[in-house]
Amino acid sequence: MTSKIEQEIPEVVPTHVAIIMDGNGRWAKSRGLPRLAGHKAGTENLRRIIEASVEFGIKYLTIYAFSTENWGRPEDEVSGLMKLFDDVFNRELAELHKQGARLIHIGRLEGVSQSMKDKIKNGEEITKENKKLILNVAFNYGSRDEILNAVQNIMKKGIEAEDVTQEMIGENLFTSHSPDPDLIIRTSGEKRISNFLLWQSAYSEWYFPEILWPDFGREALLEAIHEFARRERRFGKVEASR
Ligand code: IPE
Ligand code: IPE
Ligand code: MG
């Protein structure tokens, strides 16, 4: 059982939490349902996690919704997912706006349908003044692709090789408006990065709960930030001995 302390919001809360929302397919399978039912349950859970993030005082939430590799799934799953994202936009945008969240897409828009592009642009425009939570939605996102894109942008500006800096690379990533994630959560028990925030996660704390994404609710997020508060971050340094 969780202790009373664990039910309270810890003093130290990560500024930026990123989540690899994994396990929808297995959630559905365990109930004898089609994979898409798991994806639907996953999008419903997202609302709970956004609400809880605002409640806990998290300032940046980055969610991995669809990777550049996910196009390789069976056609009916991909088209079902696209339809689902479309529905989520229609249903959740007003709520998101009401919560004071600003939506920002990270990833490529090339290859995405025109109607989805319009929805993303519209969502970004409507919420652009909101300050409570920055919600980065990684959609058609791959971190290698992002780094490649950053390098290409830098080269197009004609910058000399020896003048390229780490800051410059950071500024040319899709996440340039956000600090590096403090805590990255991957649900479902899988322990891999799957092409997510490779550059930005250099010093992130990782957390791998066994819970499948549709079941990862407010309490589970609270437990994750408690675990974060217990970690000692060193960034490669040690305290000078006295
Ligand atoms: C994550 O759940 C959602 C997306 C990748 C879109 P999965 O669909 O990967 O679920 P599992 O890993 O098969 O259980
Ligand atoms: C990562 O999950 C992508 C998203 C959650 C959107 P995957 O389920 O696609 O990753 P792998 O295939 O298990 O590495
Ligand atoms: Mg998966």
**167: in domain:** yes
Q: What percent of the chain has pLDDT over 70?
A: 98
Q: Would you state the pLDDT for residue 6?
A: 72
Going from the Cα of 169 to the center of ligand 1, the distance in angstroms, rounded, reads 30
Average confidence (pLDDT) over 169-198:
98
pLDDT in tens, 78-106: 999 999 999 999 999 999 999 999 999 99
**193: in domain:** yes
For the cut 70, the answer to whether the pLDDT of residue 3 exceeds it is no
**105: in domain:** yes
Q: Would you state the pLDDT for residue 87?
A: 96
Q: Would you state the pLDDT for residue 1?
A: 53
Instruction: Name the closest-CA residue to atom 13, ligand 1.
Output: 25
Going from the Cα of 24 to the center of ligand 1, the distance in angstroms, rounded, reads 5
Q: What percent of the chain has pLDDT over 90?
A: 95
State yes or no: is 215 an active-site residue.
no
Q: Which pair of tokens denotes residue 75?
A: 């056609």
Say yes or no: CB of residue 29 within 6 Å of ligand 1. Answer: no
Q: Would you state the pLDDT for residue 240?
A: 86
Q: Which atom of ligand 1 is nearest to the CA of 66?
A: 6
**78: in domain:** yes
CA 218 to centroid of chain Cα atoms: 16
Q: Is the dihedral of CA 138, 139, 144, 148 positive or negative?
A: negative
For residues 197 and 62, is the Cβ–Cβ distance under 8 A? yes
Q: Would you state the pLDDT for residue 85?
A: 97
Average confidence (pLDDT) over 124-141:
98
Task: Tell me the one-letter amino acid at 224.
Answer: A
- The closest alpha carbon to 70, from 81, 60, 62, belongs to 81
State yes or no: is 70 an active-site residue.
yes
Distance between start and end Cα atoms, the chain: 40
Q: Which pair of tokens denotes residue 176?
A: 């340039």
- The closest alpha carbon to 35, from 24, 45, 44, 49, belongs to 24
**241: in domain:** no
For the cut 90, the answer to whether the pLDDT of residue 4 exceeds it is no
Average confidence (pLDDT) over 113-119:
96
For residues 2 and 219, is the Cβ–Cβ distance under 8 A? yes
Whole-number Å distance between alpha carbons of 80 and 141: 18
**181: in domain:** yes
Q: Is the dihedral of CA 189, 191, 195, 196 positive or negative?
A: positive
Name the pLDDT band for 242 (thresholds 50, 70, 90): low
**239: in domain:** no
DSSP result, 148-215? HHHHHHHHHTT--GGG--HHHHHHTSTTTTSPPPSEEEEGGG----TTSSTTTTTT-EEE--SS-GGG
User: Any idea of the CA torsion for 187, 191, 193, 199, to the nearest 10 degrees?
Assistant: 100
Q: Would you state the pLDDT for residue 199?
A: 98
**236: in domain:** no
For the cut 80, the answer to whether the pLDDT of residue 171 exceeds it is yes
Q: Which atom of ligand 1 is nearest to the CA of 23?
A: 14
Average confidence (pLDDT) over 66-74:
98
Whole-number Å distance between alpha carbons of 167 and 165: 5
For residues 133 and 52, is the Cβ–Cβ distance under 8 A? no
For the cut 90, the answer to whether the pLDDT of residue 183 exceeds it is yes
Going from the Cα of 168 to the center of ligand 3, the distance in angstroms, rounded, reads 32
Number of domains, the chain? 1
For the cut 70, the answer to whether the pLDDT of residue 5 exceeds it is no
Could you identify the residue written with the tokens 């339809």? 83
For the cut 90, the answer to whether the pLDDT of residue 230 exceeds it is yes
Range of the domain at 93: 4-230
CATH code, 75? 3.40.1180.10
Average confidence (pLDDT) over 36-58:
98
Full-prediction pTM beyond 0.85?
A: yes
Whole-number Å distance between alpha carbons of 150 and 61: 22
